[in-house]
Amino acid sequence: MTKQFFGTDGIRGRTNQGAMTAATAMKVGQAAGTRFLRGTHRHRVVIGKDTRLSGYMLENALVAGFTSVGMDVVLTGPLPTPAIALMTRELRADVGVMISASHNPYEDNGIKLFGPDGFKLSDEDELAIEAMLAQDLPLADAPDIGRARRIEDARGRYIHAVKASLPSTVRLDGLKIAVDCANGAAYQVAPSAFWELGAEVIAVGVSPNGKNINDRCGSTHVDLLQETVVSSGADIGIALDGDADRLIVVDEKGQVVDGDQIMALIGTQLAARGQLRGGGVVATVMSNLGLERFLQGQGLTLERTKVGDRHVLERMRQGGFNVGGEQSGHMILLDHATTGDGTVAALQVLAALVQSGKRASELLHLFDPVPQLLRNVRFSGGKPLEEQSVKAAIADAEASLDGKGRLVIRPSGTEPVIRVMAEGDDAGEVEAAVASICQAVEEAAA
């Protein structure tokens, strides 16, 4: 069965349109609640959110849905996605919910669901919940309707857990850090965690108003952080996205360090200490060929998956890996979290910076990425990738890059866009390959 609501990272869309309405959110609460009503104990769900205006509406709708089928609700307020995964486990909840559209603009929102183990739901659970959305579900009898309460110490619990990812001997004294929280879910917890470990913190993107999340700030818009690092003389810059499961770093010169370089650093640091499991790192097909070559030179492997952190996580769990992520900045460190956690990953980078005594520009650029180009082609309908003209253009491009690079073409899981990526040792060949395929897609979709 094909999913109609769940995409690569939960349910996501434009608020008050399509699936992202209060009515649908309430139904999701009822369906997910019914799915996880297992056993005779009093059932519980943890619900967190980022700072979007629509979070209030969706939060209330989900509370109505879950309580109507007999689940108690614990509300945390704005917290990063990994914090909700953590709280779900810590509170022995049956399910966790994060209301967020991650790096998307404020007009969008989403619903991410976690099982009682703190991991994102399996395809089986998502399909079961989708099937229930079209059904009239049994509601709880009046005495069994759930209650809702808000806990006030959730931020402190998460900050404690984040700091515990480092040895107690590691301090950040003497380090000047610029951190951009994207006016999102980590606007309070991330600067506090860094400060409590001794760093001097310059925080931007920490004034959410419901509409400015990811607006020219955060991990997808690093200009603000680059300017802040250089103008303040910071040692390093940390950029998170709206729900703080992504990390992008800026060195002291203002140069951007993406997820591939971060994975290279964390992976080799753990390998040197004998703590890297699985013999390498897990990343997606979008990670740069330079990362793969670098890891091979260190005697490590790079395992590739389809795009999406859930695919990375699935392979990590199957193969016993403890480091994985995406070039875009999703960092999954299974020794410390069950999902991507930008703040935890940032602390591993900061600890390495302190312990090495190097400047960020020396420590964080471990390999030279090969030329890589990604372009998005929007289309209004049909299936352009099934057209013969597009298939022929792809075949020609693959032949031109044979043995010298890679080609990745995929439809977006969240919008009507074809993503065309090529990389290789020759920048001209890469650009020509992408241009020819994009032209073929545009013509087929016209």
**CATH code for the domain in which residue 422 is found:** 3.30.310.50
Segment 34-43 mean pLDDT:
92
Write the DSSP string, 342-391: HHHHHHHHHHHHHHH---HHHHS--SPPPPEEEEEEE-SSS-GGGSHHHH
CA angle 199, 205, 209 (to 5 degrees): 135
Lowest-pLDDT range of 236-240, 315-319, 429-433, 442-446: 442-446
- Which among 122, 152, 182 is the end of a domain? 152
Within-domain flag for 358? yes
From CA 11, how far away is CA 1, in angstroms rounded? 17
Q: Let me know whether 175 and 286 are in one domain.
A: yes
Secondary element (H or E) of residue 297: helix 289-297
Query: Residue 65: its pLDDT value, please?
Result: 98
Query: Residue 403: its pLDDT value, please?
Result: 78
pLDDT digits (tens, 9 = 90+) for 51-89: 999 999 999 999 999 999 999 999 999 999 999 999 999
Q: Let me know whether 42 and 134 are in one domain.
A: yes
Segment 243-272 mean pLDDT:
98
From CA 154, how far away is CA 261, in angstroms rounded? 32
Q: Let me know whether 177 and 326 are in one domain.
A: yes
Q: Let me know whether 166 and 116 are in one domain.
A: no
Q: Let me know whether 359 and 381 are in one domain.
A: no
Within-domain flag for 93? yes
Q: Let me know whether 174 and 117 are in one domain.
A: no
- Decide if pLDDT at 38 tops 90: no
Within-domain flag for 432? yes
Among the listed residues 102, 165, 219, 400, the single catalytic one is 102
Backbone angles phi, psi at 40, to 5 degrees: -105, 0
Q: Let me know whether 128 and 167 are in one domain.
A: no
Segment 278-286 mean pLDDT:
96
Query: Residue 1: its pLDDT value, please?
Result: 60
pLDDT band at residue 320 using 50, 70 and 90 as cut-offs: very high
Segment 227-233 mean pLDDT:
98
Q: Let me know whether 35 and 14 are in one domain.
A: yes
Q: Let me know whether 325 and 184 are in one domain.
A: yes
pLDDT digits (tens, 9 = 90+) for 189-229: 999 999 999 999 999 999 999 999 999 999 999 999 999 99
CATH number at residue 200: 3.40.120.10
- Decide if pLDDT at 381 tops 80: no
- Decide if pLDDT at 354 tops 70: yes
pLDDT band at residue 7 using 50, 70 and 90 as cut-offs: confident
Segment 239-265 mean pLDDT:
98
Looking only at the bridges linking them, the beta strands covering 236-240 and 247-251 are: antiparallel
From CA 56, how far away is CA 338, in angstroms rounded? 26
- Number of other residues whose CB lies within 10 A of the CB of residue 275: 11
Query: Residue 3: its pLDDT value, please?
Result: 82
Q: How far is CA 255 from the centre of its chain?
A: 22
For 289, 331, 349, 430, 434, the CA distances from 265, given in Å and listed in that order, are: 16, 12, 8, 27, 30
Instruction: For residue 396, give its domain range.
Output: 372-445
- Which among 152, 174, 208 is the end of a domain? 152
Please indicate whether residue 102 is annotated as part of the active site. yes
Among residues 335, 338, 314, which one has the least CA distance to residue 117?
A: 338
Query: Residue 382: its pLDDT value, please?
Result: 81
Write the DSSP string, 232-244: HT-SEEEEE-TTS
User: In total, how many domains does the chain have?
Assistant: 3
pTM: 0.92
Cβ neighbours of residue 273 under 8 Å, at least 6 residues apart? Answer: none
Backbone angles phi, psi at 24, to 5 degrees: -70, -40
Query: Residue 415: its pLDDT value, please?
Result: 76
Query: Residue 414: its pLDDT value, please?
Result: 66
Lowest-pLDDT range of 8-17, 177-186, 196-205, 213-222: 8-17
Residue 144 DSSP one-character state: G
